[in-house]
Structure 1
Amino acid sequence: MSSRHPRGGPHELGQNFLVDRAVISAIEELVARTTGPIVEIGAGSGTVTMPLSRLGRPVTAVEVDPRSARHLNRRVPDNVTVLNEDILRVRLPRHPHVIVGNLPFHLTTSILRRILAAPHWHTAVLLAQWEVARRRAGVGGATMLTARSWPWYEFALHSRVPARSFRPAPSVDGGLFTVTRRVTPLVSDQRGYQRFVEHVFTGPGRGLREILTRTGLIDRGALNAWLRSTGLRPDVLPKDLTANQWASLWERTGTRVNGAGGSPAGTPPRTARRRRAR
């Protein structure tokens, strides 16, 4: 993981390199189950890049630190292209690809928003802070970002990664998880659905029934019928709904929320053109 400051070497950039061979092998195995070109985020010294290159597929290694990028470029085989770019600004490929990344803990949300807003990739294998990884996968309660994305993506938590697996070791453990684009989305109206999720997560109230009643998104009778059909308690929290429950709830309330105006939250602004990862 490495922060995206424009100056400084690996230490100043806050890089925490993955050094645990077992975790590196787990990442390689997850990527090996996929197909197509690979885009690696925060390649650093290449501890993940080199095993990925042995899969025999095109690899684009994106690294923001110029010195690390130059060093890596001297080591990689011909099927690897090294880009000295910021993942928040680099232009991702316009063809199907896989994203792999050891994410900087303090930029995980920003990078995930960028990834989830990008088309064309079909699978992401990511390493992030443990608590973030488990919440993104909906374990112990989902975040609003996960709930907004669930109809289009499946999240799965694979393993906990001890802090000692990194050099230097961060103060918390990491978590390895995957994001897979659904072939058939659970919801068709992305803009309206995402606005609805934001209303529910930020609305006043202590439980789902109170929140939805206060915001006027659904009448109490219809909501009670939906709760009975799902077996959920009236005081269930938004974070505790599953992907299918969110989609089902949206079907009951969608006519009351429209997607007019503005870009969906989390969609990054247009940036200056950059080199495109292949």
Structure 2
Amino acid sequence: MHHPYQGGRHELGQNFLVDRSVIAAIEELVALTTGPIVEIGPGDGALTLPLSRSGRPMTAVEVDPLRASRLVRRTPENVTIVNADILRYRFPRHPHVIVGNIPFHLTTAILRRILPAGHWRTAVLLVQWEVARRRAGVGGASMLTAAWWPWYEFGPRRRVPARSFRPMPSVDGGLLTMTRRAVPLIEERGRYQDFVRQVFTGRGRGLGEILGGVACDDHAAVRDWLRRERVSPHLLPKDLTAEQWATLWNTAGGGGPHDR
């Protein structure tokens, strides 16, 4: 019987990593971390087997039951293979590191699952190159990045050519690291993230107009903030840095009596 996953899981968005230099780069980034490892989508073990040689406890979460059962037979005792969908998987409640070659079409869904999880310290992810750049704010940050920047630093590490994968995708990949900040830039999350959404979806041709229409406690203070931070009123929300989002939030009513 022809198995639907044979030769690559296109319906699951999987492009297998075959470039040894990229695997080595991921090993080096993971080696800078400590503690247990959770791998997303191990596939045939291209990352699982090299990473397992560190001897660190490792959990590899694989959605394909056939590949999961194959991996069980090929991995050492420090590796646990879990046959589960990562979007439903409960991440450990102790410090750990996340690593994975992420199915490109599930990148945003997986990031939305990872970012609120409270116990991991570093994530080393292979995603689309453009996603890696946007997450890190290169050429403009996305709303998702701005919403989580006070808690995480995002870094694009290197471009990974499409030929590094089988089957070959239509776009290049990129290595992205996400590191939890030791001290968050702000404390309160829910209201800040609502504020980011308001600013990104607000009407206007630049921050000067957009911020004028956003609910905040002190519009004069926001105008002063634009001058003090030397932010042109014509800039867009995507152009702000992590630190500017934090000071804007504090100016626009964050850190005040509304905080829970």
Please report the TM-score for the alignment, with normalisation by the length of structure 1.
0.87
CA contact (8 A) 1:192 1:257 kept: no
Q: Which amino acid letter does the alignment assign opposite residue 228 of structure 1?
A: R
Secondary structure of the corresponding residue to residue 231 of structure 1: coil
CA contact (8 A) 2:14 2:104 kept: no
Alignment of 1:74-93 (within 5 A): 74-93=73-92
CA contact (8 A) 2:13 2:104 kept: no
Correspondence for 1:275:
none
Q: Which amino acid letter does the alignment assign opposite residue 97 of structure 2?
A: V
Correspondence for 1:130:
129
Alignment of 1:10-159 (within 5 A): 10-11=8-9, 12-159=11-158
* RMSD between aligned residues: 1.7
Work out which structure has the larger RCO, using CA pairs closer than 8 Å and 6 or more positions apart in sequence. Answer: 1
Secondary structure of the corresponding residue to residue 115 of structure 2: helix
Shift of 1:67: 0.9
Please report the TM-score for the alignment, with normalisation by the length of structure 2.
0.93
Determine the C-alpha separation between the residues in 1 that align with 2:64 and 2:253. 45
Seq. identity, %? 67
Structure 1 unaligned spans of 5+: 1-6, 261-278
The one of 2, 8, 12 aligned to 2:4: 8
CA contact (8 A) 1:212 1:218 kept: no
Determine the C-alpha separation between the residues in 2 that align with 1:167 and 1:145. 29
Q: Which amino acid letter does the alignment assign opposite residue 199 of structure 1?
A: Q
Deviations, residues 229-261 of structure 1 (Å, cap 9, x unaligned): 11111111100100000000000012599589x
Do the aligned partners of residues 25 and 184 (structure 1) sit closer, same or farther apart at CA in structure 2, a change above 3 Å counting? same
Deviations, residues 70-94 of structure 1 (Å, cap 9, x unaligned): 1111100111111111100111111
Correspondence for 1:162:
161
Determine the C-alpha separation between the residues in 1 that align with 2:4 and 2:81. 19
Secondary structure of the corresponding residue to residue 12 of structure 2: coil
Determine the C-alpha separation between the residues in 1 that align with 2:167 and 2:71. 19
Correspondence for 2:177:
178
Determine the C-alpha separation between the residues in 1 that align with 2:154 and 2:15. 24
Aligned pairs, how many?
254
